[in-house]
Amino acid sequence: MSAWEGILYGFGVALQPAVLVYCLLGVTLGTFIGVLPGIGAMAAISLLLPITFYITPEAALIMLAGVYYGAQYGGAVASILLRLPGTPQSAVTTLDGYPMAQQGRAGVALFTSMISSFIGSILGIVVLVVLAGWLSRAATAFGAADYAAMMILGLVAASTIGAERPMKGFAMVVFGMILGCIGTDVNSGAQRFTFGQTELMDGINLVALAMGLFGVAEVIGNIRNAERQAAPEPVSLRQMMPTRDDLRRIPFPALRGTALGSFFGALPGTGSTLSSFLAYAMERRVSRSPERFGKGAVEGVAGPEAANNAAAITAFVPTLTLGIPGDPIMALMLGALVIHGVQPGPLMLEARPEMFWGLVVSFGIGNLLLLILNLPLIGIWVSMLRIPFRYLYPAILIFVCLGVYSVRGASFDIAAVALIGMAGYLLALARFSPALLLLGFVLGPLIETNLRRAMLISRGDPMVFLERPIACGFTIATAALILVSIWQAWRRHVSKAEEGK
Amino acid sequence: MNRDWADICGGAVLALLGLGVAINAGLRLDFGTLRAMGPGFFPTVLGAMLALLGAGVAVPAWRRGAKPVTIRWGDAAAVIAAILIFGLGMSRLGVVLACFLAVLIASLPAPHPGWRWRLVLACAVTVLTYIVFILGLRMSLPVWPRLP
C-alpha cells in the first residue's frame, strides 16, 4: 500500500464517528492531565487502560495516543503561567515561558507553544510515515541478534545521553530487567523468583508497576508541592495575538526543534524530554543574542515545544514497526495492543493496516482538535489550574486501585501497587529514574528471548554480534556511548580535582 | 556528616538486592551454557551487574556532599494506608464504605485545615466512583458491607 492509499484508507478508519469521539476524548483528557501539575500522561494512560478493554483496538490505540500528545500541549500551560511543569517534557518551557508571563506576555507565550506544538506534530507525522515505511521493509532483514543488540543500544542510550550520573541510570535499567525476569520462564517453564505466589507466575503486572511508580509515587511527592501555587491570571484570546516580531521568531526554531525531536523520538530509549532540553540548548547556541534566553525569548518556547511534540509522534516508529517500545509510555501502549491481541512488528503495516494508517490520520485530526481546543478555549484550561490538588489526588488513588483491579480481578495487584508506590517514591526522592526501571522491565524479557535465540543459532558464539552487519553497527554504537560517558565522568573528576587545588 | 546519603543508601540497597538475586538464581536455577542458556543465566548475570553498579553508585558517594533529602513518611503512610484499606477491604466492606474511608485517610496529610471539606470530598468521590465503575463500566464488585 502506498502512502497516499494508506492515508485515504486511514481517513476511512479515523473518521468513523465512534473513533472520532474516542480521539476527542483522548486529546481532551490529555490536555487536562497535561495542564494539571502532579499527574502525567503515564498515570493517565494507565488509568485509561481498563476502559480500552471495552472498545476496538484501533479506537483504543487512537485514544491512548491522544492522551499522550494532548498532554504535550497541555503541559506548557502550567509551565508558562506558574513555572510548574505540567509534564516533564515541558519543564524546559518554564525557562523562557514564565519570564514572558511575568512581562505580561503570557498569552503570546501560550500562542507560541501551541503553534510550535502543532508544527512539530504535523511534520512529525510526515517523518513517521516515511520512516515507518522504510524501517518496516528493512526490519525483515533483522535477526534475533540484531533485535537484541538494538534493544541494548536503546537501554544504554536512555541511561547515558544527557544523564548526570549514568551509573544510577544503568542500575535502574538492570533492576527493571531483573523485575522482568519474575514469573514463569518461557523456554523451560521454571519458576523464577515467584516464592510460591501463584499471582506472580505471570510476572509483575505491567499496569500495577506503571501505576505504582508513576501514579502513586507522584501523588505522595506532590501532596505538599502542588498545593503551593498562586492562582494564575486569566488569559483572553486577544492577549494571545503575537506581534509581527514574535511571528518572525517562531518558524525557524520550530523547524529546528522538529528535526531534533523527530530524530530522538524515533531512537529507542531517548525521547521527548531529552529532545526538548537539547532543542533549548541548540536555540541558545545558534541565536545571535543568546543573552535574551532565560528572560522571555520566544525562541526558547518555540524550539522545545516543537521538539517534544515531534518526538511524541515519531516515538511510534520503533513501537509499531519493530515492536520495540522506545519509552515507558510506548511500553504501555504496546501492552494495550498485546492485550487486544495485536502484535506490533514489521508485519503490522501489511497485516493490520487499519491500526497504522488509522493512527496516522488520527494524529492529524487530533492535532487539529487540540489547536481548536487550546486557542479559543484557553481560558477554561487556565481556570482548571485553580482546582487545588487536594481535591484531585484522593480520587486519583481510587481510580488507580480500581484500574489495576479491573485488569485481572486480583486484590494482590492493589497491594502490589501500594508497595511499588512506596518504593517509587523513595527512588524518585533519591533521583533514581523510575522511567528507566520501567523501560528495563519491558525490554528485559524481549532482550532475553532474542539473546537466547541468537546464541542458539550461532551455537554459543558471541562473535555473532560483530559478524552480522546490523548487529555490529548497534554494538559499536553501544560501546561508543559507554566509552563517551566514562570519558565524561573522568573529565568531571579531573576538573573537580583541579578546583580542589 | 553531610554526605550524599541518597546515593549511598540507594546504591547499597541495590547492590545487596543484586547480590541476593545472583546467589538465589545461581543456586536454584539452571545456568545452562552460552549455547543453550538456562533459566538462571539471565538473572544471575543481571544480579551480578546490579551488585557492581550499586557498589559503583554508593562508594564514590561516600566522599561527596549533597543536600539532605527529607522523606515525608506521614504523607506516604497515609497514601499507602488508603490504598491498602480500599484494596483489601473492598471485598468485605463493599466499594462504597471502602472508598469513603480510603478518601478520608488519603486526605489527612493535605495541608489545608478543617474536617468539613474532607467529608464532602469523600462523599463526592464515592458517588463518582459508584457512577463510573458500577453504573458505567458495570464492574462486578460488592457495593455494600457484607454482614458476617
At position B139, the amino acid (one-letter code) is M
Number of other residues whose CB lies within 10 A of the CB of residue B136: 10
Indicate the pLDDT class of residue B81, thresholds 50, 70 and 90: very high
**pLDDT digit string (tens) for A11-40?**
888 888 989 999 999 999 898 888 877 677
**Which range has the worst mean pLDDT, A168-182, A401-415, A422-436?**
A401-415
Chain A residues with CB under 8 Å of B14 CB are 171, 175
Annotated domain spans of chain A = 3-500
Q: Does B101 touch chain A (CB under 8 A)?
A: no
Per-residue pLDDT at A421: 92
Q: What is the DSSP string of A216-247?
A: IHHHHHHHHHTT--PPPPP--TGGGPPPHHHH
Closest Cα in chain A, distance from residue B115 (Å): 13
In this model, does residue A501 exceed pLDDT 80? no
pLDDT of residue B83: 93
Of B42, B54, B122, the CB nearest to A448: B42
Which of A271, A268, A283 shows the shortest CA–CA distance to A112?
A: A283
- Asked if pLDDT for residue A228 goes beyond 60, the answer is no
The three three-digit cell numbers of residue A318, written as one number: 520503533
| Binding-face residues of A in 106-165 toward B, CB within 8 A | 165
Q: How many CB atoms lie within 10 A of CB A287?
A: 17
Does A490 contact B at CB distance below 8 Å? no
- Range scoring the smallest mean pLDDT among A133-137, A234-238, A370-374: A234-238
Give me the helices (H) in B1-108, please: 5-28, 41-61, 73-106
CB B10 to CB A430 under 8 A? yes
Partner-chain contact A220 B75, CB within 8 Å: yes
State how far Cα A487 lies from the chain centre. 29
Q: What CA–CA distance (Å, rounded) separates A132 from A123? A: 14
User: Which pTM value belongs to this model?
Assistant: 0.85
Is there a contact between B30 and A181 if contact means CB atoms under 8 Å apart?
no
For residue B148, the distance in angstroms to the closest alpha carbon of chain A comes to: 20
Q: Across-strand partners of B37?
A: B32
How large a percentage of chain A has pLDDT more than 90?
18
Residue pair A64/A52 in contact (Cβ under 8 Å)? The answer is yes
Best A48, A214, A389, A398 residue to mutate vs chain B (most B CBs within 10 Å): A398
pLDDT of res. A426? 92
Partner B, chain A 210-249, Cβ-Cβ below 8 Å: 216, 219-220, 223-224, 227
- In this prediction, residue A290 carries a pLDDT of 83
Q: Mean pLDDT throughout B108-133?
A: 87
% chain A with pLDDT above 70 = 97
In Å, the largest CA–CA distance within chain B is 67
For chain A, the average pLDDT equals: 85
Q: Check CB contact of B143 with chain A, cutoff 8 Å.
A: no
What are the cell numbers at B74?
506521614
**Who has greater pLDDT, B67 or A437?**
A437
- From the centroid of its chain, how far is CA B41? 28
CA A304/CA A273 separation, integer angstroms: 9
Q: Are A61 and A319 in contact (CB under 8 A)?
A: no
State pLDDT tens for residues A255-289: 999 999 998 888 776 777 788 888 888 888 888 88
CA distance A96 to chain B (A): 27
Q: What is the mean pLDDT of residues B111-121?
A: 86
Q: Taking CB atoms and an 8 Å cutoff, what residues of chain A touch B122?
A: 394
A427 contacts on B by Cβ (under 8 Å)? 10
B86 and A390 within 8 Å at the Cβ level: the answer is no
Contact with chain A for residue B85, Cβ under 8 A? no
pLDDT digits (tens, 9 = 90+) for A308-319: 899 989 988 888
Asked if B128 and A395 come within 8 Å (Cβ–Cβ), the reply is: yes
How far apart are the C-alpha atoms of A324 and A339, rounded to whole Å? 16
> What's the complex ipTM?
0.90
How far is B36 from chain A, CA to nearest CA, in Å?
6
